[in-house]
Amino acid sequence: MGLGEEMVMVSPNTYQTSVVTYLDVSGLKEAVWKSLGEPALASRIEGMLLRLQRRCIELNKRQRQSAQVPNFRARALSDSIILTCPIVSGDPIVLDNALRLIAVIVSVYQIEAATYGFFIRGAITVGPHCDLGDICFGPALIEAYEAEQKLANWPRVIVLPKALELIARGRHPYLKRDDAGITYVDYLLLSTVNSIIQSRIPEKKQAGVNPFSWVSVMKEHKTALEVAVKTLARDTPQFLLTLSKYHSLAQYHNRYLRRVIQGGKNFPMTEALELMLSRQKGMTKDRISRVVSESTLLLSDVNEKLKACLIDMRHTFAPLQRRRSRSQYLISWYHT
> Taking residues 141-147, what's their average pLDDT?
95
Domain assignment present for residue 41? The answer is: yes
Indicate whether 333 pLDDT > 70. Answer: no
Indicate whether 160 pLDDT > 90. Answer: yes
Domain assignment present for residue 191? The answer is: no
Assign 334 a pLDDT band (cuts: 50, 70, 90).
very low
Q: Tell me: do 21 and 166 sit in the same domain.
A: yes
Q: Tell me: do 168 and 224 sit in the same domain.
A: no
Domain assignment present for residue 199? The answer is: no
Q: Tell me: do 159 and 217 sit in the same domain.
A: no
Q: Is residue 237 helix, strand or coil?
A: coil
Q: Tell me: do 153 and 284 sit in the same domain.
A: no
Indicate whether 173 pLDDT > 80. Answer: yes
- For the beta carbon of residue 45, count every other beta carbon within 10 angstroms: 18
Q: Dump the DSSP string for 148-174.
A: HHHT--SS-EEE-HHHHHHTTTS--TT
Indicate whether 170 pLDDT > 80. Answer: no
Q: Tell me: do 80 and 219 sit in the same domain.
A: no
CA-based torsion, 314, 315, 321, 322: positive or negative: positive
Domain assignment present for residue 197? The answer is: no
Q: Which structural domain, as residue segments, surrounds residue 36?
A: 16-185
* The predicted structure's pLDDT at residue 9: 45
Assign 159 a pLDDT band (cuts: 50, 70, 90).
very high
Q: Tell me: do 175 and 262 sit in the same domain.
A: no
pTM for the structure as a whole: 0.85
Q: Tell me: do 285 and 157 sit in the same domain.
A: no
Phi, psi of 125 (to 5 degrees): -140, 175
Assign 89 a pLDDT band (cuts: 50, 70, 90).
low
> Taking residues 233-242, what's their average pLDDT?
84
How many domains would you assign to the chain?
Answer: 2
Q: How many helices (H) and strands (E) does the chain have?
A: 14, 8
pLDDT in tens, 184-232: 999 999 998 888 877 765 555 544 444 457 888 899 999 999 999 998 8
Domain assignment present for residue 5? The answer is: no
CA distance 313 to 321: 9
Q: Tell me: do 165 and 234 sit in the same domain.
A: no
pLDDT in tens, 94-108: 788 888 888 988 999
Q: Tell me: do 33 and 152 sit in the same domain.
A: yes
Domain assignment present for residue 195? The answer is: no
* The predicted structure's pLDDT at residue 130: 87
Domain assignment present for residue 202? The answer is: no
Indicate whether 167 pLDDT > 90. Answer: no
Q: Which residues are CB-neighbours of 30 under 8 A, at least 6 positions away?
A: none
pLDDT in tens, 295-312: 877 787 788 888 999 999
Domain assignment present for residue 11? The answer is: no
- The CATH number assigned to the domain holding 97 equals 3.30.70.1230
Assign 149 a pLDDT band (cuts: 50, 70, 90).
very high
Beta bridge partners of 175: 185
pLDDT in tens, 34-79: 899 898 989 988 888 888 888 777 776 666 555 555 677 888 887 8
Q: Tell me: do 27 and 87 sit in the same domain.
A: yes
CB 52 within 8 A of CB 109: yes
> Taking residues 165-176, what's their average pLDDT?
78
Alpha-carbon distances, residue 13 vs 16, 17, 294 (angstroms): 7, 11, 50
* The predicted structure's pLDDT at residue 290: 83
Residue 233: Cβ-neighbour burial (10 angstroms; 0-12, 13-18, 19+): exposed
- For the beta carbon of residue 264, count every other beta carbon within 10 angstroms: 6
Indicate whether 287 pLDDT > 90. Answer: no
Q: Tell me: do 215 and 179 sit in the same domain.
A: no
Indicate whether 157 pLDDT > 70. Answer: yes
Q: Tell me: do 22 and 164 sit in the same domain.
A: yes
Q: What is the percent of the chain where pLDDT is above 70?
A: 82
* The predicted structure's pLDDT at residue 250: 96
* The predicted structure's pLDDT at residue 330: 32
Of 185, 218, 235, which closes a domain? Answer: 185
